[in-house]
Structure 1
Amino acid sequence: MTLNILTPDKLVYEGTVTAVTVPGVSGSFQILKDHAPIISTLADGDIIIKINNQEQTIGIKGGVVEVLDNKIIVLAEAIIS
């Protein structure tokens, strides 16, 4: 799967991943290969990116996620350091 995380002013992350967990407004959810198409709003929280057995965390301040054909696009309001 490919993942792009963008804010209004920059590309934060671009790469191939095996799983992504995002902070949905109704609770966190995980996106795996061949996930059904979805568009969802995101709450403030952490995006957990899994590449094989390694994890990376990026904090965001709200946003939207779109999943379609193993492409994940996160449009975040801002990144939380």
Structure 2
Amino acid sequence: MLNVTVVSPEKTLFAGQVDSVFVPGKKGKFEILQNHAPIVSILTEGIVRCVGSETFEIAIKAGFVEVSNNEVSVCIEV
């Protein structure tokens, strides 16, 4: 499982455990799964989707994602 936090400048939009996270990276969309290599990536306009027992999905304008030790932090502009 991944521990995911999705925040905007105003508030936390989602926090929970999921199986995967799909993000619109600057060089293309990619999926984050358990034990993903550590990464920091710029996000472009698109959809962030967190999939687990329930799905969280949000359209974004920009942002960044940081992944380390099954912790995923997504900071977005909506």
TM-score scaled by length of structure 2: 0.92
Q: Is the aligned partner of 1:45 residue 2:46?
A: yes
Aligned mates of 1:56, 1:39 — CA distance in 2: 21
Per-residue deviation, residues 15-34 of structure 1 (Å, max 9, x unmatched): 00000000001110000000
Residue number in structure 2 paired with 1:5: 6
SS of equivalent residue, structure 1 residue 22:
strand
In the TM superposition, residue 11 of structure 1 has moved relative to its aligned partner by 0.4
Q: Is the aligned partner of 1:29 residue 2:59?
A: no
Residue number in structure 1 paired with 2:75: 75
Per-residue deviation, residues 49-80 of structure 1 (Å, max 9, x unmatched): 1105x5332111100000000000001022xx
Give the conservation status (yes or no) of the 8 Å contact 2:14–2:56.
Answer: no
> Which amino acid letter does the alignment assign opposite residue 10 of structure 1?
K
- In percent, how many aligned pairs have the same letter? 38
Give the aligned CA root-mean-square deviation in angstroms: 1.1
TM-score scaled by length of structure 1: 0.89
Aligned mates of 1:30, 1:2 — CA distance in 2: 15
Aligned mates of 1:60, 1:45 — CA distance in 2: 6
Give the conservation status (yes or no) of the 8 Å contact 2:18–2:50.
Answer: yes
* Structure 2 unaligned regions, length at least 5: none
* Structure 1 unaligned regions, length at least 5: none
